Amino acid sequence: MKRLKSVKFFTLALSVSLVFFSCSDDDNATPIVVPSGEEPSNSELYTSNNSDGNIMIYNVTDLDNVSSKSLLTTSLAADGIYYDSSTDMAVQASRSNLGLEGFLDISLNDSGISIDIDVSGSADMESPREVAVNGNFYVVADNADADGNPLTADGRLYIYEKSGTSFTLRNTITTDIKLWGITFKGNDLYAVVDTTGDLAVYTNFLTNDADVSLSASKRITIEGIVRTHGITYDASSDTMILTDIGDAGNTDDDDGGFQVITAFTSKFNATSNGGTLSASEQVRVSGSSTMLGNPVDVAYQASTGTVFIAEAGNGGGRILAYNNIGTGGNITPTLNNQLAAASSVYLYTE
């Protein structure tokens, strides 16, 4: 039984279902349908940030009554938050300590407590971002330049294996694309192609167990995205979501968005390598009411049709949630909590 003891940062912007249908070519998009049936009994949103490196956990079971707790870490900045319920462990990639850090007994800790690193890995990385987990394997996308030439696109995927209290580096994959968000769909690793609106997949990714350079198995363009960053895949609903940060400089703090692709498997398979998945096959949320400037990570709850966003730019950083997405457009977030330099989100549901 988990209880969040402290209630703070409690800013709720009630959505009045203000949906402006845009006149773009997504008019034919299939609306996001929320299945009828039981909603989750408990939903927790784990978040990391690049402001103080602490872990903030929001109980988002009821978006009208959100509580939060903050757990203090020795990191100064962190990304790639993940939660493993079987061991009650939160994991993040420390951007100040440059390794994976796991914290046990997360649900037992009160808000405001300093937590110790219980599971640790070597400090191998340069600029760790998103973490994707498959079994005991923890893959971290590092967006530092890999070959000493900033003009060539590349990055590294660090593959760690968790055993006991250690994350052991198994091998490193060098990519010929710039990296940021990654997510597993079965044994295939999907990666956004940073600085573009493209999506790449590495099939049977973990079978690559040597230190090698690897090209994507397939790469497609997601029409409508200027520069993608965040990605999540929900297997229960076969839904893929990518974020669009637009201009990374955030001079315009609502130039971002996100795009939802339902029936993802068939749409992706029907798009040839190098081809484009059209805007008409997606639902896009963007506009001045969305507060989306630099949405850097995303999580999805299919049972309630809720999209959670780590927004790094608008207002200095926010955790945002949207539901009643329908056919998209300029939607006001249902949840809007300030979180300075928010960097990643992970949704745990039971």
- Using the rule CB under 5 A, is 245 a contact of Ca ion? yes
Burial, 22: exposed, middle or buried (Cβ in 10 Å; 0-12, 13-18, 19+)?
Answer: middle
H/E stretch holding 269: helix 264-270
Minimum CB distance to Ca ion, residue 244 (Å): 8
Burial class (CB in 10 A: 0-12, 13-18, 19+), 75: buried
Distance in Å, CB of 94 to Ca ion, minimum: 16
Which position's Cβ is nearest Ca ion? 152
The single-letter code of the amino acid at 39 is E
| Closer of 39 and 176 to Ca ion (Cβ) | 176
Distance, CA of 4 to CA of 111 (rounded, Å): 8
Q: What order do you get walking across the sheet with 335-338 strand by strand?
A: 295-301, 306-311, 318-322, 335-338
Tell me which residues in 247-266 interact with Ca ion (CB under 5 A).
247, 250, 255-256
Binding of residue 175 to Ca ion (CB under 5 A)? no
- Least Cβ distance, residue 313 to Ca ion (angstroms): 6
Query: Quick one: which of 99, 246, 257, 329 contacts Ca ion (CB under 5 A)?
Result: 246
Q: Does 287 interact with Ca ion (rule: CB under 5 A)? A: no
The pair of three-digit structure tokens given for residue 107, joined into one six-digit string: 């649900």
Question: Quick check: 147 binds Ca ion (CB under 5 A)?
Answer: yes
Q: Select from 48, 68, 334, 344 the one that contacts Ca ion (CB under 5 A).
A: 344
Q: What are phi and psi of 99, to 5 degrees?
A: -140, 170
CA distances from 267 to 31, 35, 177, 278, 279 (A): 16, 21, 22, 9, 12
Nearer to Ca ion (CB atom), residue 287 or residue 326: 287
Among 307, 262, 299, 255, which residue's Cα sits nearest to residue 280?
262
| 152 vs 163 by CB, closer to Ca ion | 152
Residue 86, token pair as written in the block: 């079987």
Q: x-or-dash pattern for Ca ion, window 14-33, by CB under 5 A?
A: --------------------
Residue 290 in contact with Ca ion, rule: CB under 5 A: no
Name the minimum Å distance from CB 80 to Ca ion: 7
Region near Ca ion per CB under 5 A, out of 10-18, 33-41, 236-244, 341-349: 341-349
Residues binding Ca ion (CB under 5 A): 145, 147, 149, 152, 154, 245-247, 250, 255-256, 293-294, 297, 344, 346
